[in-house]
Structure 1
């Protein structure tokens, strides 16, 4: 997903727990979920198109992003209806207020047939699955979703990341097999390096020296000390500090299981209180104190950050793709992670293959779950994903060497985001190297190639907890995450002395970080079986 087409699609169980307080299901809690297999009102064709002999209508609730046009006008849904014999009536809810509208549907039990691009969180999946409002999908996937099943077999971490401790799958994710769509690249101003006759920095010490040169040696040539050596995204509460996420790998700190976790010989280690983290924060404090790191990093808006990318007056920043700074793309190049003081060189930041949890779910109101599963499975093929992302061949895109590219005429209209639910993020489909020409042009893939040797073999997604454990994890994380993010920002900005580190560690202990670690360990043990 291009982050500039929408960052609001990724929900967390942490946020969900707060939004869902008091929002229950009309179904009996704890009941064994019914499997809707066999309840179909129409006969589903086992393979090929159409999916059914007789036309049917499915009602789906979806989030519509500001960039999107109406779903009914998107060529993917118009053309797919003709292919499949399935008409979809979308109820579109804007991103603002979307969570509340979704909560209300569950609370009132006025359910659509399916939730499409609705950001079903792990807590919601477990709560409404065990409550009977979302149906289990594992058998339907096995029989009616060969594309999705094949991906789950090729990438076992997909199944482990979407399966409850009881063995049920209540929601399916967006799947990203393209590494370049799951990482933020490290973009450095190569024009400034050339101007100052500097090599690409390979270590954290060399990075410091380069940033000092960017600050002091007037690489933009205007005679003013107005260059911004390095910047990063503003923080999003509950999602960590972006600058920490970007630099942690240089200090041996990974981000497994969707959290600040190292996996060492199958042992979960939450590293927020350890000495490597202290070293990283001290390094970032040095950069910040010496005005090598953006002084507005913690307070700026996303729009400010994007403007700094496109200004050409920034030395180093982080982003998935190059579409914001495309007019000056030749000024920048992607580089490898920096080797840290202990020799660590890791691309710790990055999403799992199952990137967008809860992209699609089928409800107990659905009379045709088999057809619905076949309907969504098409989008987990390269052919279906091409239709979803690019529209109509000839009109919106053309094929070159087996890869779809928007036509120049269509690009000139500026309507790419109007024709696809991909724009805005969170759509249930496959993002592979075959369908990513728009977000993964050669410059971006070259930048990814610098990161790939330093990525973990498996990036584990956040684990599925049972509802009771999920609530416990959320309560613990709500306090711990807020404290860690606030204190880390203070350490970096110099508002909190590192003489207080022992007190910081002690407070994390009092907040039961060891208990949180144990809960993640138990979940990982089940995932790794």
Structure 2
């Protein structure tokens, strides 16, 4: 964990991976403060420092939000209906579907037609700095200190949160989702234990043992139908920006390759190493090429849709795969068990895949037109405590969930309706709130908890989030990564499938050099030096 004090943390920071927009200068920081102060003066007397209601006289707020396909209308969600009565704050949501959300968000700021706040806003690093320095978003650090006790407590408990959301100038313009539950930050390594038992095999402990198990899955008819139709191993076809093909971070820890700072980075004695061109990565790609060429790795691993991937999990005809939870194979969950990271050829055994405690870093922001910033920060702070997070994720006790040993679980009756996504903005991701052990029963049942215990000994002590570069540096990183990431993913897939010979590895390294991977590494090093 980072031990340096907050004064040092606020000098630089870390935030979201997506660096896509042009920006403005930070010369308007003082105007942000002035705007904030005026808003403070307008609402100070109306806000309760603690307890409910937040305001004595009802107020209305307009919020712009993304809505996922699985969601129902926000106005029908019990969390917003009940919280409106509790807080005395009524929220009018402008709900924009995921498809087209980014474009409409861009237009919102370009036209300066601002809501009071953005909820589930997916603000990128450049967006946060651009709109904050332009005065369209207000700084939140003073409001957090006075009116957000839940979020302030989380920042104190998890020092990695502050640098993840603080600009180099020391401002916080957006709040993240906070995930304190380790099991909600990792994809587990699921293996078909029924097949292992039938073939009299032990759980693999090394990459070589995994290879032998996968060969047995391919050749020895573990599903018993007399056909060679088993899928020994598969993975998702797409993932977040920058980590390349999903199969890589799932297996890279066995070759000593980590994913720090939201990128393909190892941290060795505080030195940043972008490892895409090094020999350990070559060994990883060679191992995956061996699996692919021998039909042990799913030939659809680079092309399948998410729906196809999840269907394979539920088919029972899959040997080894990766996922955060067991939702997609619940009917056959006893067929699978989680295993530890595999020890690689050099003795490495690292759980390299996983998110940091602060996630979805630009999830909530308050704009300069908001007349009630204190009331608004208090409104969102409720969801960073377990009571508010429970209401957001589970709805009403008795109607939607019941408590067992203090932990909320959806009732069987409500589960059978299949309407979980209709009652909570959590479904579909990106909602600003706390995900803790207490409120994650749906994605963290006992089988998943057990699988996480297999990973825990091999996880890094701290997972650093992406650096929040200053605007000029962010533009440089954006340009460099756009070329490097595209090239790396294309060439990696070719190495794995055999379309590109490893005799071309020197050429691959040389091209990475031409694309200025060393310059990118220095930018990450400079950012890390300010927070380490």
**Within-5 A mapping of 1:333-482:** 333-482=337-486
Which residue does 2:166 correspond to in 1?
Answer: 163
Call closer, same or farther: CA 1:144–1:237 in 2, change over 3 Å. closer
**Within-5 A mapping of 1:165-314:** 165-236=168-239, 238-239=241-242, 240-314=244-318
Q: Does 1:107 align with 2:110?
A: yes
Which residue does 1:128 correspond to in 2?
Answer: 131
Q: Which of 72, 75, 88 pairs up with 1:72?
A: 75
Structure-2-length-normalised TM-score = 0.94
The answer on whether the counterparts of 2:17 and 2:466 sit within 8 Å (CA) in structure 1 is no
Which residue does 1:5 correspond to in 2?
Answer: none
The answer on whether the counterparts of 1:119 and 1:357 sit within 8 Å (CA) in structure 2 is yes
- Corresponding residue SS for 1:207: helix
Q: Measure the CA separation in 2 of the matches of 1:322 and 1:291.
A: 25
Q: Measure the CA separation in 2 of the matches of 1:355 and 1:199.
A: 36
- Corresponding residue SS for 2:75: helix
Number of positions where the alignment pairs a residue of Structure 1 with one of Structure 2: 511
Q: Measure the CA separation in 2 of the matches of 1:523 and 1:257.
A: 10
Q: Measure the CA separation in 2 of the matches of 1:321 and 1:112.
A: 36
- Corresponding residue SS for 1:40: helix
Q: Which of 10, 28, 31 pairs up with 1:31?
A: 28
Q: Does 1:491 align with 2:498?
A: no
Shift of 1:235: 2.5
Shift of 1:414: 1.2
The answer on whether the counterparts of 1:13 and 1:122 sit within 8 Å (CA) in structure 2 is yes
Q: Measure the CA separation in 2 of the matches of 1:29 and 1:126.
A: 8
Shift of 1:399: 0.8
Call closer, same or farther: CA 1:237–1:337 in 2, change over 3 Å. closer
Gaps of 5+ in 2: 1-14
- Corresponding residue SS for 2:69: coil
Q: Does 1:145 align with 2:152?
A: no
Q: Pairwise CA RMSD of aligned residues?
A: 1.3
Shift of 1:353: 0.3
The answer on whether the counterparts of 2:17 and 2:262 sit within 8 Å (CA) in structure 1 is no
Q: Measure the CA separation in 1 of the matches of 2:399 and 2:492.
A: 50
The answer on whether the counterparts of 1:177 and 1:432 sit within 8 Å (CA) in structure 2 is yes
Which residue does 2:10 correspond to in 1?
Answer: none
Shift of 1:14: 6.3
Which residue does 1:43 correspond to in 2?
Answer: 46
Which residue does 1:9 correspond to in 2?
Answer: none
- Corresponding residue SS for 1:350: coil
**Within-5 A mapping of 1:79-90:** 79-90=82-93
Call closer, same or farther: CA 1:452–1:237 in 2, change over 3 Å. closer
Call closer, same or farther: CA 1:525–1:373 in 2, change over 3 Å. same
Q: Measure the CA separation in 1 of the matches of 2:208 and 2:469.
A: 41
Q: Does 1:98 align with 2:95?
A: no
Call closer, same or farther: CA 1:73–1:188 in 2, change over 3 Å. same
Q: Measure the CA separation in 2 of the matches of 1:483 and 1:266.
A: 27
The answer on whether the counterparts of 2:166 and 2:172 sit within 8 Å (CA) in structure 1 is yes
4+ runs of 1 displaced by more than 3 Å?
12-16, 39-42, 236-239
- Corresponding residue SS for 1:87: strand
- Corresponding residue SS for 1:118: coil
Shift of 1:15: 4.9
For residues 18-49 of structure 1, what are the alpha-carbon distances to aligned partners after superposition, in whole Å with 9 as ceiling and x for unaligned? xx45xx78xx8631251314233352111111
Q: Measure the CA separation in 1 of the matches of 2:513 and 2:106.
A: 34
The answer on whether the counterparts of 1:62 and 1:115 sit within 8 Å (CA) in structure 2 is yes
Structure-1-length-normalised TM-score = 0.95
Q: Measure the CA separation in 2 of the matches of 1:14 and 1:280.
A: 24
